[in-house]
């Protein structure tokens, strides 16, 4: 027992005294905090330019512009261009994804649109893609209210053959119309996605959970390198059961420290879900990482081969697992390879109990395979002797 306690203490001190390991642990939360605080609306993924020749004297356009600018977040941001030429130039230079030119006296034009259905707003873009179509929907949602009022007014005028009482109609329309969101985001199991339901959420932080999982796997693999280095150390010349425990500690401790750092990082970014679910998923994922690294160490007995496998595992995890993009819709054949890596199961385990079970099964299968391989090797050696 004393040897195991000493082993535990040595590994803890060794990790704490390694500046690179401490720097790696601090890098994720610090970089996330800097990104969170430095992110502004001008850094949005989609920038949209707006222009009207005479906004000052047009209250409808003025109000509409204010609403759209106030909707700006880290995904889509609206800004006013000083001239039509500047708007077109920004789109040509790539400073804006698209732009919208509103006519003078928008209220009057909307009245005409209610009767004639003639377009009065010009959309400027270099290409029609998913981003610009999303922006079209956002702009339409802001224009919908004044347009629907004018269509209602035109409908009543046609039916009654008299001009409706504008004041009363406006009051009634305001009473029964609503600006509340029609949709809310949920996971497949019915849990509410609080991050996506937040209109001011920083979408650039969404890959943090996946990046954290890769960092945990990397820490476990780094811990295994220490065990390779200690293989010839006289202190670790102990019986097999104690050696296995020390081997387990060499993987567990760096992975555990990284897991705690990852949980803290997700908490400060606001993407963390319920504490119980987060802890359970992280525990299962850590077990899966330990099983994978133990399996790799079993099939790659030489340190050089194991070192060569680290960049392959890391790059494959980042590319194949749904961290930045999901290959399911782009290349379904490649997405099936992502099941080899525990990150894939971890990312879906929070809101899919089946994935949590698969994560557990993943750990058991790799641990059993490593044990079987060790037993086979031992049996072969015994026969040769």
Backbone φ/ψ region at 380: left (φ over 0), alpha (ψ -120 to 50), beta = alpha
The domain in which residue 69 lies consists of: 42-164
**C-alpha span between 293 and 223 (Å, rounded):** 9
Q: What sign does the dihedral 121-127-128-134 (CA atoms) show? A: negative
Same domain, yes or no: 209 and 350: yes
Cα-Cα-Cα-Cα torsion 8, 13, 14, 17, nearest 10 degrees, comes to 160
- For residues 74 and 88, membership in a common domain is answered with yes
**Residue 90 and residue 24 in one domain:** no
Residue of 209, 237, 369, 232 whose CA lies nearest to 296: 369
Asked whether residue 72 falls in the same domain as residue 51, the answer is yes
In a domain, 171, yes or no: no
CA–centroid distance for 83 within its chain: 37
Q: Which of 164, 180, 212 is the last residue of a domain?
A: 164
Number of domains in the chain: 2
Q: Residue 336 falls within a domain, yes or no?
A: yes
Is 56 found in the same domain as 33?
no
> 21 and 99 share a domain?
no
Q: Please give the order of strands across the beta sheet that includes 98-101.
A: 76-80, 46-51, 98-101, 122-125
pLDDT of residue 153: 79
Closest CA to 312 of 334, 335, 296: 296
> Where residue 118 sits, what CATH number does that domain have?
3.40.190
Helix 208-230 × helix 19-38 angle, to 10°: 170
Instruction: Please check whether residues 114 and 12 belong to one and the same domain.
Output: no
How far, in Å, CA of 292 to CA of 314, rounded? 13
HEC sequence for the chain: CHHHHHHHHHHHHHHHCCHHHHHHHHHHHHHHHHHHHHCCHHHCCEEEEEECCCCCCCHHHHHHHHHHHHCCCCCEEEEECCCHHHHHHHHHHCCCCEEEECCCCHHHHHHHHHHHCCCCCEEEECCCCHHHHHHHHHHHHHHHHHHHHHHHHHHHHHHHCCCCCHHHHHHHHHHHCCCCCCCCCECCCCCECHHHHCCCCCHHHCCHHHHHHHHHHHHHHHHHHHHHHHCCCHHHCCCHHHHHHHHHHHHHHHHHHHHHHHHHHHHHHCCCCCHHHHHHHHHHHHHHHHHHHHHHHHHCCCHHHHHHHHHHHHHHHHHHCCCCCCHHHHCHHHHHHHHHCHHHHHHHHCCCHHHHHHHHHHHHHHHHHHHHHHHHHHHHHHHHC
Is residue 183 in a domain?
no
Q: Determine the pLDDT at residue 281.
A: 92
Does 228 fall in a domain? Answer: yes
Last residue of a domain, one of 148, 164, 180: 164
pLDDT digit string, tens, across residues 275-306: 888 899 999 999 999 999 989 988 988 888 88
Bridge partner list, 123: 100
Cβ proximity of 338 and 322 under 8 Å: yes
Please state the separation of Cα 287 from the chain's center in Å. 23
State residue 312's pLDDT score.
93
In a domain, 144, yes or no: yes
Q: Do the Cβ atoms of 81 and 49 come closer than 8 Å?
A: yes
Question: What does each of the 385 residues of the chain score in pLDDT, given as a tens digit?
Answer: 676 677 777 777 777 788 878 887 888 888 777 766 655 445 556 889 999 887 666 777 888 888 888 777 656 788 889 899 999 999 988 888 889 998 888 878 887 787 777 788 888 887 766 667 778 877 887 777 777 877 777 777 777 767 777 777 777 777 666 655 555 666 565 666 665 556 555 666 778 888 889 999 998 888 888 777 766 655 555 666 666 777 777 788 888 999 999 898 888 877 777 788 889 999 999 999 999 998 998 898 888 888 899 999 999 898 888 887 776 666 777 777 888 999 999 988 877 878 889 999 999 999 999 889 888 877 776 766 5
Residue 173 forms part of a structural domain: no
The radius of gyration computed from the CA coordinates of the chain, to the nearest angstrom, equals: 30
d(CA 334, CA 354): 21
Listed residues 113, 147, 164: the one ending a domain: 164
Q: Do residues 7 and 73 share a domain?
A: no
Give per-residue pLDDT as tens, 151-164: 777 777 777 767 77
Question: Which residues are within 8 A (CB) of 45 and not within 5 positions of it... i.e. 6 or more apart?
Answer: 74, 75, 76, 131, 203, 204
Q: Tell me whether residue 227 is exposed, middle or buried, using C-beta atoms within 10 angstroms of its C-beta: 0 to 12, 13 to 18, 19 or more.
A: buried
Q: Are residues 83 and 225 in the same domain?
A: no
The answer to whether the beta carbons of residues 101 and 87 sit under 8 Å apart is yes
Distance of CA 332 to the CA centre of its chain: 20
In a domain, 179, yes or no: no
State how far the Cα of 342 lies from the Cα of 358, in Å rounded to an integer: 9
**118 and 222, same structural domain?**
no
19 with 71, same domain: the answer is no
Q: Would residue 154 count as lying in a domain?
A: yes
Q: What are 75's two structure tokens?
A: 């995904």
19 in the same domain as 48: no
């Amino acid at each position: 027992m004393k040897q195991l306690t000493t082993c535990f203490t040595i590994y803890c001190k060794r990790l704490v005294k390694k500046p690179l390991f401490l720097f790696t642990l601090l890098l994720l939360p610090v970089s996330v905090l800097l990104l969170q605080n430095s992110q502004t609306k001008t850094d949005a993924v989609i920038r949209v330019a707006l222009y009207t020749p005479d906004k000052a004297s047009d209250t409808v356009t003025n109000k509409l512009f204010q609403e759209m600018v106030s909707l700006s977040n880290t995904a889509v941001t609206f800004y006013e261009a000083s001239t039509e030429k500047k708007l077109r130039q920004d789109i040509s230079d790539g400073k804006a994804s698209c732009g919208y030119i509103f006519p003078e006296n928008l209220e009057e034009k909307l009245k005409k649109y209610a009767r004639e259905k003639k377009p009065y707003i010009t959309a400027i873009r270099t290409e029609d893609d998913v981003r610009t179509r999303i922006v079209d929907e956002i702009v339409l949602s802001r224009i919908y209210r004044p347009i629907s009022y004018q269509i209602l007014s035109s409908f009543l005028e046609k039916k009654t053959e008299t001009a409706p009482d504008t004041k009363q109609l406006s009051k009634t329309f305001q009473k029964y119309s609503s600006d509340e969101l029609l949709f809310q985001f949920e996971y497949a199991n019915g849990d509410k996605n609080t991050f996506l339901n937040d209109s001011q959420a920083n979408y650039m932080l969404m890959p943090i959970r996946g990046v954290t999982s890769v960092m945990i796997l990397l820490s476990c693999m780094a811990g295994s390198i220490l065990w390779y280095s200690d293989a010839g150390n006289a202190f670790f010349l102990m019986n097999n059961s104690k050696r296995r425990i020390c081997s387990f500690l060499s993987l567990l401790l760096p992975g555990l420290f990284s897991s705690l750092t990852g949980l803290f990082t997700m908490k400060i970014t606001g993407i963390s879900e319920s504490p119980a679910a987060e802890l359970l998923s992280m525990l299962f994922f850590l077990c899966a990482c330990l099983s994978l690294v133990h399996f790799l160490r079993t099939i790659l007995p030489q340190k050089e081969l194991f070192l060569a496998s680290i960049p392959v595992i890391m790059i494959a995890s980042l590319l194949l697992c749904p961290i930045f993009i999901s290959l399911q819709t782009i290349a379904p054949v490649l997405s099936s390879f992502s099941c080899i890596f525990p990150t894939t199961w971890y990312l879906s385990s929070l809101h899919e109990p089946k994935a949590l079970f698969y994560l557990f099964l993943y750990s058991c299968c790799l641990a059993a395979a490593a044990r079987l391989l060790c037993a086979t090797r031992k049996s072969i050696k015994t026969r040769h002797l």
